[in-house]
Structure 1
Protein backbone atom coordinates (compact mmCIF):
# COMPACT_ATOMS: atom_id res chain seq x y z
CA UNK A 1 0.00 0.00 0.00
CA UNK A 2 1.39 3.39 -0.99
CA UNK A 3 1.04 6.41 1.25
CA UNK A 4 -1.99 8.59 0.43
CA UNK A 5 -1.48 11.78 -1.53
CA UNK A 6 -0.66 14.85 0.62
CA UNK A 7 -3.59 15.90 2.74
CA UNK A 8 -5.67 12.97 1.54
CA UNK A 9 -6.55 14.72 -1.72
CA UNK A 10 -7.69 13.14 -4.98
CA UNK A 11 -5.82 13.83 -8.22
CA UNK A 12 -6.79 13.38 -11.87
CA UNK A 13 -6.03 14.71 -15.34
CA UNK A 14 -9.11 15.89 -17.24
CA UNK A 15 -9.46 16.30 -20.99
CA UNK A 16 -12.70 18.28 -21.21
CA UNK A 17 -15.41 17.14 -23.64
CA UNK A 18 -15.39 19.21 -26.84
CA UNK A 19 -18.75 18.31 -28.35
CA UNK A 20 -21.51 20.91 -28.47
CA UNK A 21 -24.31 20.85 -25.88
CA UNK A 22 -27.96 21.87 -26.46
CA UNK A 23 -27.22 25.55 -25.75
CA UNK A 24 -24.40 25.64 -28.29
CA UNK A 25 -21.43 25.52 -25.90
CA UNK A 26 -18.95 22.60 -25.98
CA UNK A 27 -17.97 21.14 -22.63
CA UNK A 28 -18.87 19.11 -19.58
CA UNK A 29 -21.74 18.22 -17.30
CA UNK A 30 -22.85 20.81 -14.71
CA UNK A 31 -22.99 19.49 -11.16
CA UNK A 32 -22.15 20.32 -7.55
CA UNK A 33 -20.37 18.56 -4.69
CA UNK A 34 -21.92 18.27 -1.24
CA UNK A 35 -18.75 17.85 0.86
CA UNK A 36 -15.75 18.44 -1.39
CA UNK A 37 -13.86 21.52 -2.52
CA UNK A 38 -12.32 21.30 -5.98
CA UNK A 39 -9.42 23.03 -7.75
CA UNK A 40 -8.48 23.28 -11.42
CA UNK A 41 -4.91 23.76 -12.61
CA UNK A 42 -5.05 24.49 -16.34
CA UNK A 43 -2.15 22.92 -18.24
CA UNK A 44 -3.29 23.33 -21.85
CA UNK A 45 -5.93 24.97 -23.99
CA UNK A 46 -8.54 27.60 -23.20
CA UNK A 47 -12.06 27.61 -21.86
CA UNK A 48 -14.21 28.79 -19.02
CA UNK A 49 -16.16 27.54 -16.05
CA UNK A 50 -19.67 28.80 -15.37
CA UNK A 51 -20.70 28.78 -11.71
CA UNK A 52 -23.84 29.22 -9.64
CA UNK A 53 -23.04 29.96 -6.00
CA UNK A 54 -23.74 32.35 -3.15
CA UNK A 55 -22.14 34.94 -5.44
CA UNK A 56 -24.75 34.37 -8.13
CA UNK A 57 -23.95 33.39 -11.72
CA UNK A 58 -20.41 33.95 -12.99
CA UNK A 59 -18.18 32.86 -15.84
CA UNK A 60 -14.45 32.50 -15.20
CA UNK A 61 -11.88 32.35 -18.01
CA UNK A 62 -9.42 29.45 -18.06
CA UNK A 63 -6.01 29.46 -19.75
CA UNK A 64 -2.67 27.71 -19.15
CA UNK A 65 -1.41 28.60 -15.69
CA UNK A 66 -4.82 29.46 -14.25
CA UNK A 67 -5.68 27.97 -10.85
CA UNK A 68 -9.36 28.19 -9.88
CA UNK A 69 -11.07 26.55 -6.92
CA UNK A 70 -14.49 26.53 -5.28
CA UNK A 71 -16.26 25.23 -2.20
CA UNK A 72 -19.06 22.66 -1.77
CA UNK A 73 -22.44 23.72 -3.14
CA UNK A 74 -21.00 25.55 -6.15
CA UNK A 75 -22.70 24.40 -9.33
CA UNK A 76 -19.95 24.31 -11.97
CA UNK A 77 -19.93 23.74 -15.71
CA UNK A 78 -16.75 23.52 -17.80
CA UNK A 79 -16.69 25.01 -21.31
CA UNK A 80 -14.00 23.96 -23.78
CA UNK A 81 -12.88 26.66 -26.23
CA UNK A 82 -10.07 24.42 -27.53
CA UNK A 83 -7.91 21.57 -26.21
CA UNK A 84 -8.81 22.29 -22.57
CA UNK A 85 -6.69 20.03 -20.35
CA UNK A 86 -6.80 20.36 -16.57
CA UNK A 87 -5.23 18.80 -13.48
CA UNK A 88 -8.04 18.41 -10.94
CA UNK A 89 -7.38 18.37 -7.20
CA UNK A 90 -10.27 17.28 -4.97
CA UNK A 91 -10.52 17.33 -1.20
CA UNK A 92 -11.56 14.13 0.59
CA UNK A 93 -9.93 11.88 -2.00
CA UNK A 94 -12.46 9.08 -2.23
CA UNK A 95 -15.73 10.99 -1.90
CA UNK A 96 -16.29 12.14 -5.49
CA UNK A 97 -16.01 8.53 -6.66
CA UNK A 98 -18.35 7.52 -3.82
CA UNK A 99 -21.12 9.73 -5.14
CA UNK A 100 -20.36 13.20 -3.74
CA UNK A 101 -21.75 14.91 -6.80
CA UNK A 102 -25.27 15.79 -7.88
CA UNK A 103 -25.89 16.54 -11.54
CA UNK A 104 -28.24 19.39 -12.35
CA UNK A 105 -30.97 17.28 -13.88
CA UNK A 106 -34.48 18.77 -13.98
CA UNK A 107 -36.10 18.77 -10.55
CA UNK A 108 -38.55 15.95 -11.28
CA UNK A 109 -35.51 13.68 -11.70
CA UNK A 110 -33.63 15.03 -8.65
CA UNK A 111 -36.74 14.35 -6.55
CA UNK A 112 -36.96 10.72 -7.72
CA UNK A 113 -33.94 8.69 -6.47
CA UNK A 114 -34.66 5.72 -8.70
CA UNK A 115 -34.95 7.80 -11.84
CA UNK A 116 -31.88 9.85 -10.88
CA UNK A 117 -29.85 6.65 -10.55
CA UNK A 118 -30.95 5.50 -14.00
CA UNK A 119 -30.10 8.82 -15.66
CA UNK A 120 -26.81 9.39 -13.81
CA UNK A 121 -25.27 5.92 -14.12
CA UNK A 122 -23.10 5.15 -17.15
CA UNK A 123 -22.66 1.62 -18.54
CA UNK A 124 -19.75 -0.12 -16.76
CA UNK A 125 -19.37 2.96 -14.59
CA UNK A 126 -17.89 4.81 -17.54
CA UNK A 127 -14.88 2.49 -17.67
CA UNK A 128 -12.43 2.99 -20.56
CA UNK A 129 -14.00 1.79 -23.79
CA UNK A 130 -17.55 2.77 -22.82
CA UNK A 131 -19.55 4.44 -25.60
CA UNK A 132 -18.98 8.18 -25.03
CA UNK A 133 -22.44 9.05 -26.38
CA UNK A 134 -23.91 7.79 -23.09
CA UNK A 135 -21.92 10.50 -21.26
CA UNK A 136 -23.10 13.12 -23.75
CA UNK A 137 -26.73 12.11 -23.20
CA UNK A 138 -26.31 12.46 -19.43
CA UNK A 139 -24.55 15.80 -19.85
CA UNK A 140 -27.21 17.24 -22.12
CA UNK A 141 -29.95 16.34 -19.63
CA UNK A 142 -28.01 18.16 -16.90
CA UNK A 143 -27.62 21.21 -19.16
CA UNK A 144 -31.42 21.40 -19.29
CA UNK A 145 -31.64 21.64 -15.51
CA UNK A 146 -28.67 24.03 -15.34
CA UNK A 147 -30.38 26.48 -17.67
CA UNK A 148 -33.45 26.50 -15.41
CA UNK A 149 -31.31 27.07 -12.30
CA UNK A 150 -29.32 29.82 -13.96
CA UNK A 151 -32.47 31.64 -15.03
CA UNK A 152 -33.83 31.41 -11.48
CA UNK A 153 -30.59 32.75 -9.97
CA UNK A 154 -30.44 35.63 -12.46
CA UNK A 155 -34.07 36.44 -11.69
CA UNK A 156 -34.17 35.96 -7.90
CA UNK A 157 -30.54 35.90 -6.75
CA UNK A 158 -28.55 33.13 -5.04
CA UNK A 159 -31.45 32.23 -2.73
CA UNK A 160 -32.96 30.50 -5.78
CA UNK A 161 -30.43 27.69 -5.24
CA UNK A 162 -31.77 26.78 -1.78
CA UNK A 163 -34.41 24.33 -2.98
CA UNK A 164 -31.96 22.56 -5.29
CA UNK A 165 -29.37 22.31 -2.49
CA UNK A 166 -31.97 20.79 -0.16
CA UNK A 167 -33.11 18.30 -2.80
CA UNK A 168 -29.49 17.33 -3.57
CA UNK A 169 -28.77 16.74 0.12
CA UNK A 170 -31.90 14.58 0.49
CA UNK A 171 -30.93 12.55 -2.59
CA UNK A 172 -27.53 11.63 -1.14
CA UNK A 173 -28.46 11.20 2.53
CA UNK A 174 -28.30 7.36 2.37
CA UNK A 175 -24.57 7.58 1.52
CA UNK A 176 -23.50 9.76 4.45
CA UNK A 177 -22.25 6.95 6.73
CA UNK A 178 -20.14 5.56 3.87
CA UNK A 179 -18.73 9.02 3.15
CA UNK A 180 -17.89 9.56 6.80
CA UNK A 181 -15.84 6.35 6.86
CA UNK A 182 -13.88 7.44 3.78
CA UNK A 183 -13.25 10.88 5.26
CA UNK A 184 -12.08 9.43 8.58
CA UNK A 185 -9.68 7.07 6.80
CA UNK A 186 -8.40 9.79 4.46
CA UNK A 187 -8.30 13.55 4.98
CA UNK A 188 -9.17 13.41 8.69
CA UNK A 189 -6.46 10.87 9.42
CA UNK A 190 -3.94 12.95 7.47
CA UNK A 191 -4.78 16.03 9.54
CA UNK A 192 -4.58 14.04 12.77
CA UNK A 193 -1.15 12.74 11.81
CA UNK A 194 0.10 16.31 11.41
CA UNK A 195 -1.15 17.04 14.91
CA UNK A 196 0.71 14.03 16.29
CA UNK A 197 3.89 15.20 14.58
CA UNK A 198 3.51 18.74 15.93
CA UNK A 199 3.03 17.42 19.46
CA UNK A 200 6.14 15.25 19.11
CA UNK A 201 8.26 18.12 17.79
CA UNK A 202 7.07 20.34 20.65
CA UNK A 203 8.51 17.69 23.01
CA UNK A 204 11.77 17.70 21.09
CA UNK A 205 10.95 14.27 19.63
CA UNK A 206 11.82 13.94 15.93
CA UNK A 207 11.83 10.14 15.73
CA UNK A 208 8.98 10.10 13.16
CA UNK A 209 11.40 11.56 10.62
CA UNK A 210 13.34 8.30 10.62
CA UNK A 211 10.44 6.63 8.78
CA UNK A 212 10.64 9.07 5.85
CA UNK A 213 9.91 7.43 2.50
CA UNK A 214 9.11 8.20 -1.12
CA UNK A 215 6.17 7.01 -3.23
CA UNK A 216 5.55 7.41 -6.95
CA UNK A 217 3.02 6.56 -9.62
CA UNK A 218 4.92 6.36 -12.91
CA UNK A 219 1.69 6.73 -14.88
CA UNK A 220 -2.05 7.13 -14.22
CA UNK A 221 -3.79 4.28 -12.45
CA UNK A 222 -6.42 4.38 -15.19
CA UNK A 223 -6.71 6.26 -18.48
CA UNK A 224 -9.78 7.43 -20.36
CA UNK A 225 -12.62 6.90 -17.88
CA UNK A 226 -15.76 8.82 -18.83
CA UNK A 227 -16.14 11.51 -16.21
CA UNK A 228 -18.80 14.15 -15.78
CA UNK A 229 -16.73 16.81 -17.53
CA UNK A 230 -14.48 14.82 -19.85
CA UNK A 231 -12.05 11.93 -20.14
CA UNK A 232 -10.28 11.22 -16.86
CA UNK A 233 -6.81 9.86 -16.19
CA UNK A 234 -6.91 9.00 -12.47
CA UNK A 235 -4.11 8.66 -9.95
CA UNK A 236 -4.99 6.31 -7.10
CA UNK A 237 -2.21 5.51 -4.60
CA UNK A 238 -3.76 2.18 -3.65
CA UNK A 239 -2.20 -1.28 -3.49
Structure 2
Protein backbone atom coordinates (compact mmCIF):
# COMPACT_ATOMS: atom_id res chain seq x y z
CA UNK A 1 0.00 0.00 0.00
CA UNK A 2 1.33 3.45 -0.89
CA UNK A 3 2.67 5.42 2.05
CA UNK A 4 3.62 8.60 0.21
CA UNK A 5 0.81 10.95 -0.88
CA UNK A 6 0.60 10.86 -4.65
CA UNK A 7 1.30 14.20 -6.34
CA UNK A 8 -1.41 16.43 -7.70
CA UNK A 9 -1.53 17.43 -11.34
CA UNK A 10 1.94 18.17 -12.80
CA UNK A 11 3.65 21.24 -11.41
CA UNK A 12 0.80 22.17 -9.09
CA UNK A 13 -1.18 23.49 -12.06
CA UNK A 14 -4.93 23.38 -12.71
CA UNK A 15 -6.67 22.21 -15.88
CA UNK A 16 -10.16 22.77 -17.21
CA UNK A 17 -12.13 22.51 -20.44
CA UNK A 18 -13.48 25.76 -21.86
CA UNK A 19 -16.20 26.53 -24.39
CA UNK A 20 -16.00 30.26 -25.06
CA UNK A 21 -19.28 32.16 -24.81
CA UNK A 22 -20.95 32.67 -28.18
CA UNK A 23 -23.05 35.68 -27.10
CA UNK A 24 -22.38 38.91 -29.03
CA UNK A 25 -21.17 41.82 -26.90
CA UNK A 26 -21.79 45.53 -27.47
CA UNK A 27 -18.96 45.64 -30.02
CA UNK A 28 -20.43 42.71 -31.99
CA UNK A 29 -17.72 40.25 -30.94
CA UNK A 30 -18.69 36.93 -29.43
CA UNK A 31 -16.66 35.90 -26.42
CA UNK A 32 -15.86 35.93 -22.76
CA UNK A 33 -15.36 38.42 -19.96
CA UNK A 34 -12.07 40.37 -20.10
CA UNK A 35 -10.11 39.95 -16.88
CA UNK A 36 -6.62 39.77 -15.43
CA UNK A 37 -4.80 37.32 -13.17
CA UNK A 38 -2.58 38.94 -10.57
CA UNK A 39 -0.25 36.05 -9.74
CA UNK A 40 -0.71 33.24 -12.27
CA UNK A 41 0.23 32.50 -15.87
CA UNK A 42 -2.56 30.98 -17.98
CA UNK A 43 -2.37 28.87 -21.15
CA UNK A 44 -4.88 27.89 -23.84
CA UNK A 45 -4.56 24.78 -25.99
CA UNK A 46 -7.19 25.20 -28.71
CA UNK A 47 -8.94 21.96 -29.66
CA UNK A 48 -11.90 23.13 -31.77
CA UNK A 49 -13.17 26.21 -33.61
CA UNK A 50 -11.37 29.43 -34.41
CA UNK A 51 -11.09 32.72 -32.64
CA UNK A 52 -8.85 35.39 -31.23
CA UNK A 53 -7.14 36.18 -27.97
CA UNK A 54 -7.35 39.92 -27.27
CA UNK A 55 -4.72 41.00 -24.74
CA UNK A 56 -3.92 44.36 -23.21
CA UNK A 57 -0.60 45.11 -21.52
CA UNK A 58 1.68 48.12 -21.18
CA UNK A 59 2.64 47.42 -24.83
CA UNK A 60 -0.95 48.03 -25.93
CA UNK A 61 -3.64 45.84 -27.49
CA UNK A 62 -2.53 42.64 -29.21
CA UNK A 63 -4.73 40.19 -31.12
CA UNK A 64 -3.54 36.59 -31.44
CA UNK A 65 -5.24 34.15 -33.82
CA UNK A 66 -6.55 30.96 -32.21
CA UNK A 67 -7.09 27.76 -34.19
CA UNK A 68 -6.91 24.04 -33.39
CA UNK A 69 -3.40 23.19 -32.25
CA UNK A 70 -2.55 26.72 -31.08
CA UNK A 71 -0.97 26.99 -27.63
CA UNK A 72 -0.99 30.53 -26.25
CA UNK A 73 0.00 31.59 -22.76
CA UNK A 74 0.28 34.90 -20.95
CA UNK A 75 1.83 36.20 -17.76
CA UNK A 76 0.14 37.78 -14.72
CA UNK A 77 -0.99 41.31 -15.56
CA UNK A 78 -2.15 40.40 -19.07
CA UNK A 79 -5.75 41.54 -19.44
CA UNK A 80 -7.28 38.99 -21.78
CA UNK A 81 -10.48 38.31 -23.65
CA UNK A 82 -11.26 35.14 -25.63
CA UNK A 83 -13.29 35.77 -28.81
CA UNK A 84 -14.96 33.17 -31.01
CA UNK A 85 -14.96 33.85 -34.77
CA UNK A 86 -15.88 30.50 -36.35
CA UNK A 87 -17.71 27.59 -34.81
CA UNK A 88 -17.66 26.69 -31.12
CA UNK A 89 -14.28 27.77 -29.77
CA UNK A 90 -13.09 25.16 -27.28
CA UNK A 91 -9.78 24.91 -25.45
CA UNK A 92 -8.04 23.07 -22.69
CA UNK A 93 -6.92 25.65 -20.13
CA UNK A 94 -3.87 25.18 -17.94
CA UNK A 95 -3.53 27.56 -15.02
CA UNK A 96 -0.41 28.09 -12.97
CA UNK A 97 -0.79 27.85 -9.18
CA UNK A 98 -3.75 25.52 -8.82
CA UNK A 99 -6.19 27.05 -6.36
CA UNK A 100 -5.26 30.70 -6.75
CA UNK A 101 -7.72 31.40 -9.54
CA UNK A 102 -10.46 29.78 -7.48
CA UNK A 103 -9.40 31.92 -4.51
CA UNK A 104 -9.95 35.16 -6.42
CA UNK A 105 -6.70 35.63 -8.37
CA UNK A 106 -8.74 37.12 -11.24
CA UNK A 107 -10.18 40.64 -11.47
CA UNK A 108 -12.71 41.61 -14.11
CA UNK A 109 -12.34 44.83 -16.11
CA UNK A 110 -15.55 46.43 -14.92
CA UNK A 111 -16.16 50.16 -15.41
CA UNK A 112 -14.22 52.42 -13.06
CA UNK A 113 -17.15 53.27 -10.79
CA UNK A 114 -17.56 49.55 -9.96
CA UNK A 115 -13.84 48.93 -9.45
CA UNK A 116 -13.69 51.81 -6.97
CA UNK A 117 -16.44 50.33 -4.79
CA UNK A 118 -15.54 46.93 -3.23
CA UNK A 119 -19.18 46.14 -2.44
CA UNK A 120 -20.31 46.96 -5.96
CA UNK A 121 -17.45 44.91 -7.41
CA UNK A 122 -18.26 41.90 -5.22
CA UNK A 123 -21.91 42.02 -6.31
CA UNK A 124 -21.07 42.38 -10.01
CA UNK A 125 -18.36 39.69 -9.96
CA UNK A 126 -20.35 37.08 -8.01
CA UNK A 127 -20.54 33.63 -9.64
CA UNK A 128 -23.56 33.83 -11.95
CA UNK A 129 -26.49 31.53 -11.31
CA UNK A 130 -27.50 31.35 -14.96
CA UNK A 131 -26.83 32.46 -18.52
CA UNK A 132 -28.48 35.86 -18.10
CA UNK A 133 -26.33 36.82 -15.12
CA UNK A 134 -23.20 35.49 -16.82
CA UNK A 135 -23.91 37.54 -19.91
CA UNK A 136 -24.57 40.68 -17.86
CA UNK A 137 -21.26 40.20 -16.03
CA UNK A 138 -19.47 39.70 -19.35
CA UNK A 139 -21.03 42.84 -20.83
CA UNK A 140 -19.89 44.97 -17.87
CA UNK A 141 -16.34 43.64 -18.23
CA UNK A 142 -16.30 44.28 -21.99
CA UNK A 143 -17.44 47.86 -21.40
CA UNK A 144 -14.59 48.54 -18.99
CA UNK A 145 -12.09 46.72 -21.21
CA UNK A 146 -12.97 48.79 -24.27
CA UNK A 147 -12.52 51.96 -22.26
CA UNK A 148 -9.08 50.80 -21.08
CA UNK A 149 -8.03 49.89 -24.63
CA UNK A 150 -9.07 53.35 -25.82
CA UNK A 151 -7.18 55.08 -22.99
CA UNK A 152 -3.97 53.12 -23.59
CA UNK A 153 -4.17 53.69 -27.36
CA UNK A 154 -4.61 57.44 -26.72
CA UNK A 155 -1.37 57.50 -24.72
CA UNK A 156 -2.87 57.53 -21.22
CA UNK A 157 0.02 55.69 -19.59
CA UNK A 158 -1.53 55.83 -16.12
CA UNK A 159 -4.83 54.15 -17.04
CA UNK A 160 -3.38 50.65 -16.90
CA UNK A 161 -1.43 51.32 -13.72
CA UNK A 162 -4.58 52.70 -12.08
CA UNK A 163 -6.48 49.55 -13.05
CA UNK A 164 -3.77 47.31 -11.59
CA UNK A 165 -3.75 49.28 -8.34
CA UNK A 166 -7.51 48.98 -8.00
CA UNK A 167 -7.32 45.27 -8.77
CA UNK A 168 -4.71 44.68 -6.08
CA UNK A 169 -6.70 46.71 -3.57
CA UNK A 170 -9.78 44.57 -4.25
CA UNK A 171 -7.78 41.43 -3.45
CA UNK A 172 -5.64 42.71 -0.57
CA UNK A 173 -7.51 40.73 2.10
CA UNK A 174 -6.88 37.46 0.23
CA UNK A 175 -3.09 37.65 -0.17
CA UNK A 176 -2.39 35.54 2.94
CA UNK A 177 -4.75 32.87 1.62
CA UNK A 178 -2.94 32.92 -1.72
CA UNK A 179 0.42 32.52 0.01
CA UNK A 180 -0.88 29.46 1.86
CA UNK A 181 -2.37 27.94 -1.31
CA UNK A 182 0.90 28.41 -3.17
CA UNK A 183 3.00 27.08 -0.28
CA UNK A 184 1.00 23.87 0.08
CA UNK A 185 0.47 23.32 -3.64
CA UNK A 186 2.90 24.50 -6.34
CA UNK A 187 5.80 25.12 -3.96
CA UNK A 188 5.32 21.73 -2.29
CA UNK A 189 5.24 20.04 -5.72
CA UNK A 190 8.54 21.68 -6.73
CA UNK A 191 10.17 20.76 -3.41
CA UNK A 192 9.01 17.16 -3.79
CA UNK A 193 10.82 16.99 -7.14
CA UNK A 194 13.96 18.23 -5.38
CA UNK A 195 13.60 15.44 -2.81
CA UNK A 196 13.20 12.86 -5.58
CA UNK A 197 16.32 14.11 -7.37
CA UNK A 198 18.29 13.91 -4.13
CA UNK A 199 17.08 10.34 -3.63
CA UNK A 200 18.16 9.41 -7.16
CA UNK A 201 21.62 10.86 -6.61
CA UNK A 202 21.91 8.69 -3.48
CA UNK A 203 20.60 5.59 -5.22
CA UNK A 204 17.28 5.49 -3.37
CA UNK A 205 14.28 4.26 -5.39
CA UNK A 206 11.51 4.42 -2.80
CA UNK A 207 9.40 6.97 -4.64
CA UNK A 208 9.58 4.88 -7.83
CA UNK A 209 8.13 1.90 -5.95
CA UNK A 210 5.29 4.09 -4.67
CA UNK A 211 4.18 5.11 -8.19
CA UNK A 212 0.47 5.08 -9.03
CA UNK A 213 -1.95 6.33 -11.68
CA UNK A 214 -4.64 8.89 -10.92
CA UNK A 215 -7.65 9.56 -13.12
CA UNK A 216 -10.30 12.26 -13.11
CA UNK A 217 -13.41 12.48 -15.28
CA UNK A 218 -15.11 15.65 -16.43
CA UNK A 219 -18.36 16.31 -14.57
CA UNK A 220 -21.67 15.83 -16.39
CA UNK A 221 -22.68 18.65 -18.73
CA UNK A 222 -25.37 19.65 -16.25
CA UNK A 223 -22.65 20.52 -13.75
CA UNK A 224 -20.70 22.83 -16.06
CA UNK A 225 -20.46 26.29 -14.63
CA UNK A 226 -20.40 29.79 -16.04
CA UNK A 227 -16.78 30.93 -15.90
CA UNK A 228 -15.30 34.23 -16.95
CA UNK A 229 -14.41 33.18 -20.50
CA UNK A 230 -17.16 30.64 -21.10
CA UNK A 231 -18.69 27.39 -19.93
CA UNK A 232 -16.18 25.42 -17.87
CA UNK A 233 -15.61 21.80 -16.95
CA UNK A 234 -13.38 21.94 -13.88
CA UNK A 235 -11.49 19.00 -12.40
CA UNK A 236 -10.55 18.24 -8.81
CA UNK A 237 -6.82 17.59 -9.23
CA UNK A 238 -5.86 17.44 -5.58
CA UNK A 239 -3.53 14.65 -4.52
CA UNK A 240 -4.87 11.47 -2.92
CA UNK A 241 -3.18 9.24 -0.34
Alpha-carbon distance between aligned partners in 2 of 1:64 and 1:140, rounded to the nearest angstrom = 27
**Which residue number corresponds to residue 10 of structure 2?**
6
Give the superposed CA RMSD. 1.7
Please, which runs of 5 or more residues in structure 1 have no aligned partner?
none
1:159 Cα offset (Å): 5.3
CA contact (8 A) 2:45 2:69 kept: yes
Moved over 4 A (4+): none
Alpha-carbon distance between aligned partners in 2 of 1:68 and 1:208, rounded to the nearest angstrom = 34
Please, which runs of 5 or more residues in structure 2 have no aligned partner?
none
Q: Which secondary structure does the structure 1 equivalent of 2:130 belong to?
A: coil
1:221 Cα offset (Å): 7.8
1:2 Cα offset (Å): 6.4
**Which residue number corresponds to residue 19 of structure 2?**
15
Q: Which secondary structure does the structure 1 equivalent of 2:31 belong to?
A: coil
The counterpart of 2:118, out of the listed 113, 116, 122, is 113
CA contact (8 A) 2:218 2:233 kept: no
**Which residue number corresponds to residue 160 of structure 2?**
161
Moved more, 4-13 or 211-220: 211-220
Alpha-carbon distance between aligned partners in 2 of 1:210 and 1:11, rounded to the nearest angstrom = 27
1:158 Cα offset (Å): 5.9
**Which residue number corresponds to residue 224 of structure 2?**
224
Q: Determine whether 1:53 maps to 2:53.
A: no
Q: Deviations over 1:26-57 (max 9, x none)?
A: 10000000011000000000000100013321
Q: Determine whether 1:73 maps to 2:77.
A: yes
Q: Which secondary structure does the structure 2 equivalent of 1:156 belong to?
A: coil
CA contact (8 A) 1:49 1:62 kept: yes
**Which residue number corresponds to residue 93 of structure 1?**
98
> Relative to structure 1, is the Cα distance of residues 8 and 221 closer, same or farther in structure 2, using a 3 angstrom cutoff?
farther
Alpha-carbon distance between aligned partners in 2 of 1:175 and 1:207, rounded to the nearest angstrom = 38
Q: Which secondary structure does the structure 1 equivalent of 2:19 belong to?
A: strand
Alpha-carbon distance between aligned partners in 2 of 1:198 and 1:154, rounded to the nearest angstrom = 49
CA contact (8 A) 2:217 2:235 kept: no
Q: TM-score by structure 1 length? A: 0.92
Alpha-carbon distance between aligned partners in 1 of 2:192 and 2:157, rounded to the nearest angstrom = 38
CA contact (8 A) 1:3 1:215 kept: no
Alpha-carbon distance between aligned partners in 1 of 2:237 and 2:43, rounded to the nearest angstrom = 19
The counterpart of 2:68, out of the listed 64, 83, 86, is 64
Alignment of 1:141-220 (within 5 A): 141-156=140-155, 160-220=159-219
> Relative to structure 1, is the Cα distance of residues 188 and 221 closer, same or farther in structure 2, using a 3 angstrom cutoff?
farther
Q: TM-score by structure 2 length? A: 0.92
Aligned length in residues: 233
